[in-house]
Amino acid sequence: MESSDKSNHQLRGGICYPNGARRPVRTPSVIVIGAGMAGIAAARALHEASFQVTVLESRDRIGGRVHTDYSFGFPVDLGASWLHGVSKENPLAPLISRLGLPLYRTSGDNSVLYDHDLESYALFDMDGHQVPQELVTKVGETFECILEETNKVRQEHSEDMSISSAFSIVFERRPELRLEGLAHKVLQWYVCRMEGWFASDADTISLKSWDQEELLPGGHGLMVRGYLPVINTLAKGIDIRLSHRVTNIVRRYTGVKVTVEDGTTFAADAVIVAVPLGVLKAKNIKFEPRLPEWKEAAIDELGVGIENKIILHFDKVFWPNVEFLGVVADTSYHCSYFLNLHKATGHSVLVYMPAGQLARDIEKMSDEAAVEFAFMQLKKILPEACAPIQYLVSRWGTDVNTLGSYSYDAVGMSHDLYERLRVPVDNIFFAGEATSMSYPGSIHGAFSTGQMAAEDCRMRVLERYGELNLLQPVMGEEAGLCVPLLITRL
């Protein structure tokens, strides 16, 4: 399809009709931009529906925000690593089960800490003293109470405000909830965990919309062998052009023309844009004609946050046998946490995960300085810590292929912006985590939007040809197949 308006007008193959006659038909074609979960899911679905599919990907690898690295000699994820919703309700469950990929469950349903249970944490103050577990539990209850109170604030105010402004109102009304001393620091750590979930600071998160996403049942599980096998399986047999950065999309009634950085053009009946929200915000891709105002507004207004991973590989385990280590402090900015991968994978690895402003600040440092910063946090709680032997540092905020980690509900925006981002513009379809009303910021959300965009695209293109009933509908994974998920917890 490269450089070829001509291939778009070729006659190809044939379809068998009930009377046995064969009539040559034009193979419908689509270009998918971005080989992350959403783009690959869309490409797979349309490939199976007999479309001619070409995926254009700017990086020299597939997966996007799924980035499993093997340089330590075992897999570690620099991007997504949890399956949120370890149950058959999760659209990715059939595929993960079929591949026999093990999951390590880190929390059940309804944890106040989202993807972790309270019991799985060991919290320390800056002097290396462990916070008594009863205090952690008690402050957890207070945090839940504060969140309930913010719900009342939400009902009283028609205007949106940040979750931190709502906390201030709650503290004025109920000063005892503010807590003092060590308890206050633990409370700040809860706020820090909330900020990690949204990849954004509490003073930017919308009170009105922060809890509008749907949490699937089954709690949260780590992909022990990394997420890449899922992407690789979906990508099998698909024409993916790596190092093809799209710069222009021209839309005409008869089809689309897509140009990449080196000037090569690709033509097809339709295009699925599955690049990150950050890339759309930066206007790194020019649309001709311009996207309608409502679409541009959705792109501008949706929030995109930052969460990063600093992955530290040690020659031995010197930390307690818990899933998470936390450092409490006076402000959420100064709190931190480390995921203990040894629990789930048996490898002596800790993952430091800063979010929001802290992540932004750390991205300004060199890799060495960022690792030193993370290691200093660890030294505060474990003074005997020995230096890492290997490390990896993600930079999702400044990486030109992403420009942010994932979307979140920013103050003043309405939750239906996700849907506005998804709605197609003529023969341009949109997919990606930020187009998911129900599951924004997640892998399964990205997967579902890819499938949705594929089905919308199939309908649109075949409708135009008057051949709607000729090709297979886009299906999800085999509906009848039910293999249980492999879940452990130690």
Ligand X SMILES: Cc1cc2nc3c(=O)[nH]c(=O)nc-3n(C[C@H](O)[C@H](O)[C@H](O)COP(=O)(O)OP(=O)(O)OC[C@H]3O[C@@H](n4cnc5c(N)ncnc54)[C@H](O)[C@@H]3O)c2cc1C
Binding-site residues for substrate, in ranges, read: 352
Choose between 191 and 453: whose C-beta lies nearer to ligand X: 453
Q: For ligand X, which residue of 117, 195, 269, 307 counts as binding (CB under 6 A)? A: 307
Q: Are the C-beta atoms of 336 and 352 separated by less than 8 Å?
A: yes
Radius of gyration of the chain from Cα atoms? 24
Choose between 103 and 413: whose C-beta lies nearer to ligand X: 103
The 184-213 site mask, x for binding ligand X (CB under 6 A), equals ------------------------------
Choose between 122 and 446: whose C-beta lies nearer to ligand X: 446
Query: Binding site for FAD: which residues?
Result: 246
Half-sphere exposure of 358 (CA within 13 A, CB side): 26
The 350-389 site mask, x for binding ligand X (CB under 6 A), equals ----------------------------------------
Sign of the torsion formed by the C-alpha atoms of 196, 202, 204 and 210:
positive
Q: Can you tell me whether residue 171 is helix, strand or coil? A: helix
Compute the distance between CA of residue 69 and CA of residue 73 in angstroms, rounded to an integer. 9
Q: For ligand X, which residue of 80, 136, 339, 370 counts as binding (CB under 6 A)? A: 80
Q: Are the C-beta atoms of 48 and 457 separated by less than 8 Å?
A: no
Task: Select from 141-149, 277-285, 381-389, 478-486 the region that touches ligand X (CB under 6 A).
Answer: 277-285
The 383-422 site mask, x for binding ligand X (CB under 6 A), equals -----------x-x----xx--xx----------------
Q: Are the C-beta atoms of 224 and 96 separated by less than 8 Å?
A: no
Q: Are the C-beta atoms of 260 and 244 separated by less than 8 Å?
A: yes
Smallest separation (angstroms) from ligand X to the CB of 347:
18
Compute the distance between CA of residue 325 and CA of residue 347 in angstroms, rounded to an integer. 16
What are the tokens at 212?
């509008």
Residue 435: DSSP 8-state? G
Hey, what amino acid is at 453? A
The 33-62 site mask, x for binding ligand X (CB under 6 A), equals xxxxxxx----------------xxxx---
445 contacts: CB under 8 Å, gap ≥ 6: 433, 436, 438, 439
Residue 425: DSSP 8-state? B
Smallest separation (angstroms) from ligand X to the CB of 319:
21
Q: For ligand X, which residue of 8, 29, 52, 81 counts as binding (CB under 6 A)? A: 81
Positions in the binding site for ligand X (CB under 6 A): 33-39, 56-59, 64-66, 79-82, 84, 245-246, 274-276, 279, 284-285, 307, 309, 394, 396, 401-402, 405-406, 432-433, 441-443, 446
